[in-house]
Amino acid sequence: MRTELKRNLCLAMAVFGLTAGGAQAETATVWSTDFSSEKVRDLNPSAKIVAAPAPATGKLLMLSNGGGRTPAWCAAKELRLAGPVTVAVRLRGKGFAGVGPVLNFNGYFRVGKNYWGVEIPGTVYGTQLDETKARTVSFNILLAPQPESYSFDISGQWALKETNSAQTIWIERIEIMANGPAASFISRVEPDKTSYRLGQTAKVAVAVVNPTATPFKGSLTLTELFDLEEKTDAATGAVELAPGEAKEFNFSWKAKLPEAGRELRVTLLDAGKKVLDTYTDFYGIAKDPSYLNTMAGGVIAPVWNNRYNCSYVGPASYAQTLGFIQFNKAMRLQRFEYFSWSYNELAQFMPPKDEEPYLGNEGIWWQSFKKFKNQVRMLKEIGVTPISYVNGGLWGPEAYKLYQKHPEWFLAVGSFDMEWRAKYERRNEFEFMQNKTPFFYCYFNPVLPEARRYVADQLIGIAKEMGFEGARWDVWNMSVSPGQKDMFGKEVAKTAEEADRLTAESLAAVKALVAKEVPEFTWGYNYGGPEEVEKTPLIIAEKCRGGGWILDEITCTYQEKTSPFHYWDAYRDRIVGWGDHIRQLGGIYNPFPFRRGGALYTIDHLYEGIFRLIGGARSYMPGEFNAGAAGKQGLMAFRYSDVFFGWSLRLQPATQTLVKVTAPDTLWWKSMVLLGTGANGRPRAIVHLVNSPPVNEVEENPQSLVRPPVKDVVVNCGPQNGKKLPVKAWVISAEPATPDAEPAVTATVLPLTRHGNTAQVTVPWVLYWKTVVFEY
């Protein structure tokens, strides 16, 4: 096996744990502690070993919120492990409330005496802690696929900003559970890419371990699951392992329609066809993988930023780049945008050959063009679609040269600073200081064929030489405003209507020129909010056409008290309604989160993610609160992409009468009913059930308090167009199916009964968000 690559990849996969292995294999408790052998003592002023209160016996680890890091809780050595491992912590607590983070685990599985280890992705949330009732919080980790001897240690880091000694956690027991020694098991399933375009070859490596003292013969079956119940047989193969052997088996097949997030289910059978183990993983299949981009860093912001920012704007070392690539692979990311990396933007994206390194990112960063090209190549190799940011302007020395040669190509808009130009020309001298503002900045006249050809050639160039598969235009995208003139005083567009038409025509012309050379090149744009396109219907229609990625940047300000959308019900209707409009125009909706990087409080981050996904948005950093019981919502939307992103979906007015929900008014649903068609071609009615935030204003709930679950929600659905009633129904969720269950991405069939001229189902409980689908 490729041990070192697998081991490095383990780190990111352990942190985020998208895979779910060992569902059928025998699992065993390989190590545990209940602190019974410890002496009652103080570890430090806020951590103690104490006797359990009567009538219970034994000892507990008591942690009081003194802030900062806790002492080590326990340690273990010589644990022989491979593949999926679960760390389960049984605990109680008092003084906590809300869905916000309380305590982060600092736990590691380490190999030998090296510092290298796999970090435990552990966070305890306030909603999990009860003083009178202990509960088990589990964290899944994915270790290297081949068995190795690990040591284990764990401590804690308080996540609360303020200390409070009255806030206390009691830990009763810590267990490590892993595949047992009695039967062979799957230790890793690894697709070579996060996404596949239609016709590409999917390659999957499956690692199997035989921990027994006898040879093993059996087989593996690989099945693709998509939509609610659709599946295809992908591959099968024989398996033979010697006693104690770990081995990798490789499979491949062609990626085929339909476009959808895929769950790959791998089953290990013995010679008698008995199921020994199952293991699931995920990847996307699409013409444009951006269509499926929802899975990202969740709420683990420090890890996300460390992995993400090294390739966001600035230069990165090879080690940083490798970590970034492994992180994106583990997260099954579908799309990544390189922001403002270019030399002179549309004047000349790629630097001259004699400038290595060159000044990129609007003249801010010195970076290696050779290394940057390698980053893009590495990203493509794992299936992530690399997108180039395009500012739209022309700047710097190449723009200045082009203007001198062809002043007739330019609008009378821009800026210049000849004093700064003189300094910029000495950029290779030691005293040179970077300056973000370009010394020369201007725009093309977009209606000129020569300008359109020049822009198209620049984009074709970065596609062919660098491997970019799309571009997202920001400030200027072949646009002209009413009253703008060229450099000779000729007015280009007299009215707003004419400017709208000419901009749309110019944009379409460039797209057509690029498509002749690079047919799969994709497009994205800023200025996608309703406030920005009210008077430019032709421009927004052209931007959306063919799956345009539409960035709605204004939403990042909606937490402000001056915004009418800082009320959750208003935000809900704005995001869901506009997302439906963009979908109907053929676009892919991408609204920014609050404050660009997410709201101040966990509760706000949770609900903004919910409403963006219901609106069909491809969101980075959606809610990923496994320990907070909200579950992996981005993965849910990815896995059931037809339900959340299908092109056939149409939002229904709040006054619709097809679907009716019987529940308290605090359960929102009326403005979140959609009609659509499944992958099997059958009509559907979809209703999203959201247990609303207890405070209706964004960022007015610092404790992140939540409502109690809504129980026994009755949903009725009538016939569409006077035809037959629904014949089947499912509830889709990322949160637990029952109060005592763990969060899991599932689609569960609901019993369907007839009540009058409607079909009726009952959803047992809604914690935050569940989705009911009726099929006709």
Domain of 345, CATH number, reads: 3.20.20.80
Residue 26 scores a pLDDT above 80: no
pLDDT (mean) for 489-504: 98
- CA distance linking residue 594 with residue 571, whole number of Å: 11
pLDDT at 151: 94
pLDDT (mean) for 233-256: 98
619 domain-assigned? no
pLDDT at 741: 84
1 domain-assigned? no
pLDDT (mean) for 529-550: 97
Question: Which amino acid makes up residue 156?
Answer: G
pLDDT at 24: 54
Residue 96 scores a pLDDT above 60: yes
Indicate whether 259 and 406 sit together in one domain. no
Q: Report pLDDT digits (tens) over 380-394.
A: 999 999 999 999 999
- CA distance linking residue 368 with residue 358, whole number of Å: 6
Residue 718 scores a pLDDT above 50: yes
pLDDT at 114: 64
What angle, 0 to 180 degrees and rounded to 10, lies between the N-to-C axes of helices 602-614 and 568-584?
Answer: 30
Residue 463 scores a pLDDT above 90: yes
What confidence tier does 436 reach under pLDDT thresholds 50, 70, 90?
confident
DSSP symbols for 183-215: S-EEEEEEES-SEE-TTPEEEEEEEEE--SSS-
Indicate whether 382 and 524 sit together in one domain. yes
What confidence tier does 1 reach under pLDDT thresholds 50, 70, 90?
very low
150 token code pair: 């690990």
Residue 457 scores a pLDDT above 90: yes
Q: Considering only 118-122, 232-236, 249-253, 578-582, which range has the smallest mean pLDDT?
A: 118-122
Q: Report pLDDT digits (tens) over 29-74.
A: 999 999 988 999 999 989 999 999 888 789 999 999 999 999 989 9
> By CB neighbour count within 10 A (0-12 exposed, 13-18 middle, 19+ buried), where does 500 fall?
buried
Q: How do beta strands 385-390 and 335-338 pair? A: parallel
169 domain-assigned? yes
CATH code for the domain of 49: 2.60.120.260
Task: Say which residues have a Cβ less than 8 Å from residue 451's Cβ, sequence separation at least 6.
Answer: 409, 444, 445
Residue 197 scores a pLDDT above 50: yes
Residue 78 Cα to chain centre, angstroms: 35
pLDDT at 115: 59
pLDDT at 301: 40
Residue 697 scores a pLDDT above 80: yes
- CA distance linking residue 698 with residue 605, whole number of Å: 10
Tokens 């010679």 sit at which residue? 271
* Domain coverage including residue 163: 27-179
736 domain-assigned? no
Indicate whether 315 and 268 sit together in one domain. no
Q: Considering only 111-125, 134-148, 750-764, which range has the smallest mean pLDDT?
A: 111-125
- CA distance linking residue 547 with residue 589, whole number of Å: 9
346 domain-assigned? yes
741 domain-assigned? no
- CA distance linking residue 201 with residue 114, whole number of Å: 38
Q: Which of 748, 678, 685 is nearest to 716 (CA)?
A: 685
Q: Report pLDDT digits (tens) over 482-495.
A: 999 999 999 999 99
Residue 304 scores a pLDDT above 80: no
- CA distance linking residue 273 with residue 769, whole number of Å: 39
Indicate whether 397 and 507 sit together in one domain. yes
Indicate whether 281 and 361 sit together in one domain. no
Q: Which of 212, 227, 221 is nearest to 251 (CA)?
A: 221
- Structure-model confidence comparison of residues 607 and 319, the more confident one: 607
pLDDT at 699: 97
Task: Say which residues have a Cβ less than 8 Å from residue 386's Cβ, sequence separation at least 6.
Answer: 336, 338, 376, 379, 380, 467, 468, 469, 470
pLDDT at 312: 56
Indicate whether 197 and 100 sit together in one domain. no
pLDDT (mean) for 263-279: 97
pLDDT at 56: 79
- Structure-model confidence comparison of residues 558 and 327, the more confident one: 558
Indicate whether 419 and 334 sit together in one domain. yes
What confidence tier does 321 reach under pLDDT thresholds 50, 70, 90?
confident
pLDDT at 116: 63
State which of 232, 254, 287 marks the end of a domain: 287
Residue 16 scores a pLDDT above 60: no
Indicate whether 236 and 173 sit together in one domain. no
State which of 239, 255, 287 marks the end of a domain: 287
Phi-psi region of 22 (alpha: psi -120 to 50; beta: other; left: phi over 0): left
What confidence tier does 323 reach under pLDDT thresholds 50, 70, 90?
confident
Q: Considering only 124-128, 323-327, 701-705, which range has the smallest mean pLDDT?
A: 323-327
Q: Considering only 362-366, 575-579, 606-610, which range has the smallest mean pLDDT?
A: 362-366
Residue 559 scores a pLDDT above 90: yes
Indicate whether 305 and 352 sit together in one domain. yes
- CA distance linking residue 400 with residue 405, whole number of Å: 9
What confidence tier does 8 reach under pLDDT thresholds 50, 70, 90?
very low
Indicate whether 309 and 324 sit together in one domain. yes
Residue 481 scores a pLDDT above 60: yes
771 domain-assigned? no
- CA distance linking residue 81 with residue 177, whole number of Å: 10
- CA distance linking residue 617 with residue 293, whole number of Å: 9
Indicate whether 441 and 491 sit together in one domain. yes
Indicate whether 60 and 84 sit together in one domain. yes
pLDDT (mean) for 310-321: 70
- CA distance linking residue 17 with residue 123, whole number of Å: 14
pLDDT (mean) for 173-179: 96
For the chain, the residue count is 776
Residue 775 scores a pLDDT above 50: yes
State which of 500, 523, 552 marks the end of a domain: 552
- Structure-model confidence comparison of residues 622 and 124, the more confident one: 124
- CA distance linking residue 742 with residue 747, whole number of Å: 15
Q: Specify whether the CB–CB gap between 504 and 538 falls below 8 A.
A: yes
Return the percentage of the chain with pLDDT > 70, whole number. Answer: 93
- CA distance linking residue 492 with residue 513, whole number of Å: 22
What confidence tier does 15 reach under pLDDT thresholds 50, 70, 90?
very low
pLDDT (mean) for 84-95: 94
Q: What's the structural domain count of the chain?
A: 3
pLDDT (mean) for 628-641: 91
Tokens 């290595």 sit at which residue? 356
What confidence tier does 298 reach under pLDDT thresholds 50, 70, 90?
very low
pLDDT at 310: 56
Three-state DSSP at 154 gives strand
Residue 10 scores a pLDDT above 60: no
Q: Specify whether the CB–CB gap between 69 and 91 falls below 8 A.
A: no
Q: Report pLDDT digits (tens) over 604-622.
A: 999 999 999 999 998 766 6
- CA distance linking residue 269 with residue 534, whole number of Å: 59
- Structure-model confidence comparison of residues 423 and 464, the more confident one: 464
- CA distance linking residue 552 with residue 578, whole number of Å: 10
Dihedral angle, C-alpha 731, 735, 741, 745, nearest 10 °: 70
CATH code for the domain of 271: 2.60.40.10
Q: Specify whether the CB–CB gap between 151 and 114 falls below 8 A.
A: no
711 domain-assigned? no
Q: Specify whether the CB–CB gap between 97 and 705 falls below 8 A.
A: yes
DSSP code of residue 299: T
639 token code pair: 């896995």
23 token code pair: 């569902």
